[in-house]
């Protein structure tokens, strides 16, 4: 069959970079990160799947790792875990003493890295039941608990369950901005961490620039100016490649929490 065994269809017109059963589009001039997609052979047919359609991606075992890590060389979980480890060592803090909230935990790749660093207690949260199911399916040993919640609208019982561990660290990797986690959800998670706790996150570099429209540039600068977040280290790095092979640059930041973020700081 033509096209390497592909049936006719829109996503099958340009067979490129075939790697197992995932194809990246080859005919895109420019495509925003939010619109990127791939074609996946699943259930007997090629299907177009948006990168940000995590519901579908997590439902196919191995697809998230294959797409973002094997094909697009995603480095974010490694980078943030390494930076956090270095800062803990600098302060002589034992990683096993940490109780970490992993915000936007997905299928557990970040949790896995945090366990490698030595994190003692680890709780994942994600808005998608498919993410929790994938984490339990792929990495059942990683999380002590994993809650499916919308951090922008926590029920009182959910808030109480998340307040109980008295977290001493927050990790949030590759999950801020776009249609994912908004500033209000980040604030809710930040405020679940005890004062003096560790804050480690990654974010697209543009979302910390003057051109930002996500609200994160303002949130982070107001938090640092108001002394709520003390930045210990930050690093611009290549998060992953885009579908054209161009770098997508993010910033990883590790700091310590000094106080809660008040609601009016979100503006
Ligand atoms: C790109 S994935 C990152 C997963 C993981 N942190 C990693 O680096 O592999 C973004 C995750 O954020 C989750 N997410 C999006 N909005 C959310 C929200 N409001 N509350 C909690 N999780 C959310 C998505 O469901 C998805 O699992």
Q: Residues 113-167: pLDDT tens digits?
A: 999 999 999 999 999 999 999 999 999 999 999 999 999 999 999 999 999 999 9
Beta bridge partners, 148, equal 126
Q: How far is the CA of 179 from the centre of ligand 1 (A)?
A: 10
Report d(CA 210, CA 182) in Å as an integer.
18
Residue 254, exposed/middle/buried by CB under 10 A (0-12, 13-18, 19+)? buried
The beta strand positions in the chain, using DSSP E, are 22-23, 37-42, 45-50, 99-103, 121-126, 145-148, 167-172, 193-204, 229-241, 247-257
Task: Give the pLDDT of residue 140.
Answer: 97
Q: Which residue's CA is the closest to the ligand 1 atom numbered 12?
A: 104
Percent of the chain with pLDDT over 70: 93
175 lines ligand 1 (CB under 6 A): yes
Q: How far apart are CA 201 and CA 174, in angstroms?
A: 8
> What domains can you pick out in the chain, each with its CATH number?
2-71 (no CATH), 76-266 (3.40.50.150)
pLDDT over 50 (residue 215): yes
Question: In ligand 1, which atom is closest to the CA atom of 131?
Answer: 27
Determine the pLDDT at residue 213: 84
Which tens digit of pLDDT belongs to each residue from 83-114? 999 999 999 999 999 999 999 999 999 999 99
Q: What does the pLDDT average to over 9-22?
A: 48
Residue nearest to atom 9 of ligand 1 (CA): 109
Q: Is the CB of 77 under 6 A from ligand 1?
A: yes
Give me the phi and psi of 171, to 5 degrees please. -120, 140
Does the pLDDT value for residue 3 go beyond 60?
no
pTM across the whole model: 0.91
Ligand 1 atom nearest 202 alpha carbon = 8
Q: What are phi and psi of 197, to 5 degrees?
A: -70, 170
Instruction: Evaluate if residue 15 carries a pLDDT over 60.
Output: no
Specify the pLDDT at position 20.
66
Instruction: Assess whether the C-beta atom of 127 lies below 6 angstroms from ligand 1.
Output: yes
Residue 98, ligand 1, Cβ within 6 A: no
Task: Kindly state the average pLDDT of the residues 34-58.
Answer: 93
Q: Which pLDDT belongs to residue 178? A: 84
The number of the ligand 1 atom at minimal distance from the alpha carbon of 182 is 19
Closest ligand 1 atom number to CA of residue 171: 6
Choose which residue among 130, 143, 175 to substitute to test ligand 1 binding: the one with the highest number of ligand atoms within 8 A of its C-beta: 175
């Amino acid at each position: 069959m033509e096209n390497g065994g592909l049936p006719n269809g829109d996503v099958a017109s340009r067979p490129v970079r075939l790697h197992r059963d995932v194809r990246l589009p080859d005919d895109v001039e420019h495509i925003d990160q939010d619109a990127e997609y791939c074609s996946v052979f699943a259930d007997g047919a090629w299907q177009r799947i948006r990168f940000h359609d995590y519901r579908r991606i997590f439902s196919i075992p191995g697809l998230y790792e294959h797409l973002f890590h094997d094909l697009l060389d995603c480095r974010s979980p490694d980078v943030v875990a390494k930076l956090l480890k270095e800062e803990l060592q600098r302060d002589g803090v034992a990683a096993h003493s940490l109780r970490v909230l992993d915000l936007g935990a997905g299928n557990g790749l970040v949790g896995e890295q945090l366990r490698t660093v030595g994190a003692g207690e680890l709780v994942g949260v994600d808005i998608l039941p498919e993410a929790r199911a994938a984490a339990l399916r792929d990495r059942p040993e990683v999380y002590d608990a994993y809650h499916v919640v919308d951090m922008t609208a926590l029920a009182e019982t959910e808030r109480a369950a998340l307040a109980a561990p008295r977290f001493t660290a927050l990790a949030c990797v590759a999950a801020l901005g776009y249609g994912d986690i908004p500033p209000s959800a980040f604030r809710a998670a930040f405020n679940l961490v005890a004062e003096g706790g560790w804050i480690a996150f990654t974010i697209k570099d543009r979302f910390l620039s003057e051109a930002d429209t996500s609200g994160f540039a303002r949130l982070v600068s107001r938090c640092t100016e108001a002394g709520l977040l003390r930045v210990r280290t930050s690093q611009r790095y290549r998060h992953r490649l885009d579908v054209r092979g161009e770098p997508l640059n993010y910033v990883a930041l590790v700091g310590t929490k000094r106080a809660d973020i008040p609601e009016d700081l979100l503006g």
